[in-house]
A and B are shown apart, each in its own frame.
Chain A
Amino acid sequence: MDIAYYPGCSLKQSSSLYDHQNRLIFERLGIHLREIDDWNCCGATSAGKTDDFLAMAMPARNLGIAMSTGLKEMVIPCSACYSRTLVAQKYLDHHEDLKEEINSGLAQKIKGEFKVSSILEVLLKTLETGTLLEKAVKKPSLLKPVCYYGCMMTRFPFDVPVPDDAENPQGMETLLKAIGLQPIDWNYKTNCCGASAAVNEPETAMNLMGKIMKDAVSMGANCMVVTCPMCQLNLDAHQNTFCRDQGIMERLPVLFITEVLGMAMNFSVEDLQIDRHFVDATGLFRELEETGAEKKS
């Protein structure tokens, strides 16, 4: 099955490992990701803060391109890109004038039904059909994960159909439980990591991340699992700094969901490029590769 794919800027740069992992595991699940042609930046949260028109026009062009492929669905693994694109689609559906205005300048227009999906929605579908469990042959049983969703998977600045519970989402937990893991319940799964504040207002962001980290540690987690490349980079790249400044002794690898599922599907650490984390995640998996990986019955 083919599905349209929007990687976005960060998956082509600082989080290119996530792009790579997505292609790898979806292919194995029988889903071919078709990257849409000549896509542009979605504007992220910055456009929403500086220009309302661009905040709609930028993702709108991508939607037009995706719709013109004839495919019916597009998956967007980056939470920010997913949120901006979904919001633009629904907002324009409610504001025909603006839609017409933007369409007038687009080579490929927005029209008709089209589904914008988060990575979790697509993965959950493969669980329903049975493909996921067919391919996930290993159980990485040493992982004691907390699932971290951040803001953009469930909270939107416009009324859109929210794919999971806003206060206590379960998408990642459902997937991890299915492959035999026991994700830990905790309090900070939908708190904010600070996003771009990590760069432009570090004090605020470090405080927010410290709180998330402390709760994860106190619950006994040995890793966090995420879907958002921004959350991943923030919690990973700055972890040493905010832990040092806030007296936190522990360090937790911040794993993409694609890494956990990929390991369950028998890919190796090298295949998945898990060696590109700031807080080493390979140790946890190497040990797994040698000892802890059980064949699931």
Chain B
Amino acid sequence: MTAALAFKPEKARTFAKEVMERSGQNLVACYQCRRCAGACSVGEETGYITPDRLIRMILTGDQENALNNELVWKCVSCYTCGTRCPNEIQTGRITETLKKMAKEAHQAPLQPQIAHFHDAFVHSGLRWGRVNEMEFMAFYELRNMIDHVKGKKFGAIFNEIKTQSTLALSMMRLKRMHFGFLSAKGRQEIKRLYKKKKK
């Protein structure tokens, strides 16, 4: 992508408004001092995109790139940017919001495995009331495998199995793998609330 930002006024207002409302962050307060850029944990991993630039993209209405870029998917929600921002803008909340908006817009995530991970985690937590690490990891890996098979990435499958099984073996040796099953009966309360909300 290029460094020049095009202002798209027709999109800018509605898009920026939605991001601000859902994330609870006042983006127009940003005066581009770039303290966040220096603070960002994944600054070296995301190339051009730093928190301040993501904010600019949103304010100028560049919806397409704002919904799908390296920072949105690689942000680790460490909240360092917002702790240091003189205007208290939490870009971590913005990337969390953009991930949801990208999903609602049926945009394929730039890093599908990250999306799978968080989906699988919440799914497991909601389904049983507690996250069962083994079930959740199996579910997550399965979805990655399906992606790899679809993309005929057999090397990736091999590597994934190798890394995960080495880790699993040492976890077993240290008794850090749990074979019992965890659940909370009251999960129904949350499920019912969630259903009502989604209606």
Chain A residues proximal to chain B, CB less than 8 Å: 9-10, 12-17, 38-41, 43-54, 57-58, 61, 65, 101-102, 104-107, 151, 154-158, 166-167, 190-192, 194-197, 199-204, 207-208, 233, 237, 275-278
Q: Write the nearest CB–CB distance from A53 to chain B, whole angstroms.
A: 5
Quick one: which of A50, A105, A155 contacts B122, CB cutoff 8 A? Answer: A50
Asked whether, in the complex, the Cβ of B93 is within 8 Å of the Cβ of A157, the reply is: yes
Question: How many angstroms between the C-alpha atoms of A159 and B76 in the bound complex?
Answer: 19
Question: How many angstroms between the C-alpha atoms of A53 and B22 in the bound complex?
Answer: 11
Q: Which of A9, A49, A52, A106 has the most CB of B within 10 A?
A: A49
Asked whether, in the complex, the Cβ of B41 is within 8 Å of the Cβ of A47, the reply is: no
Given contacts A41-B131, A237-B171, contact A48 B117 (CB under 8 A): no
Asked whether, in the complex, the Cβ of B182 is within 8 Å of the Cβ of A13, the reply is: yes
Given contacts A46-B117, A52-B100, A106-B189, contact A40 B125 (CB under 8 A): yes
Indicate the size class of the contact surface on chain B.
Answer: 35 or more
Q: Write the nearest CB–CB distance from B36 to chain A, whole angstroms.
A: 13
Instruction: Return chain A residues, CB-CB under 8 Å to B171.
Output: 14, 237
Asked whether, in the complex, the Cβ of A278 is within 8 Å of the Cβ of B117, the reply is: no
Asked whether, in the complex, the Cβ of B78 is within 8 Å of the Cβ of A9, the reply is: no
Quick one: which of B80, B126, B140, B196 contacts A105, CB cutoff 8 A? Answer: B196
Residue-by-residue, is B11-55 near A (CB-CB < 8 Å gives 1, otherwise 0)?
A: 000000000001010000000000000000110110000000000
Asked whether, in the complex, the Cβ of B126 is within 8 Å of the Cβ of A204, the reply is: no
Q: What are 23 sample pairs from A and B whose C-beta atoms fall under 8 A apart?
A: A9-B132, A14-B176, A17-B176, A38-B186, A43-B122, A54-B122, A101-B193, A105-B196, A106-B193, A151-B77, A151-B78, A157-B96, A197-B74, A197-B114, A199-B140, A200-B117, A201-B73, A201-B113, A202-B163, A208-B41, A276-B175, A278-B170, A278-B174
Which residues of B142-199 have CB atoms within 8 Å of chain A's CB atoms? 163, 167, 170-171, 174-178, 182, 184-187, 189-190, 192-194, 196-197
Asked whether, in the complex, the Cβ of A40 is within 8 Å of the Cβ of B45, the reply is: no
Residue of A nearest to B112 (CB): A200
Residue of B nearest to A45 (CB): B77
Asked whether, in the complex, the Cβ of B190 is within 8 Å of the Cβ of A46, the reply is: no
Q: Write the nearest CB–CB distance from A266 to chain B, whole angstroms.
A: 24
Asked whether, in the complex, the Cβ of B78 is within 8 Å of the Cβ of A192, the reply is: yes
Residue-by-residue, is B75-108 near A (CB-CB < 8 Å gives 1, otherwise 0)?
A: 0111110110000001011001001100100000
Q: Which of A10, A16, A208 has the most CB of B within 10 A?
A: A208
B111 CB within 8 Å of chain A? yes
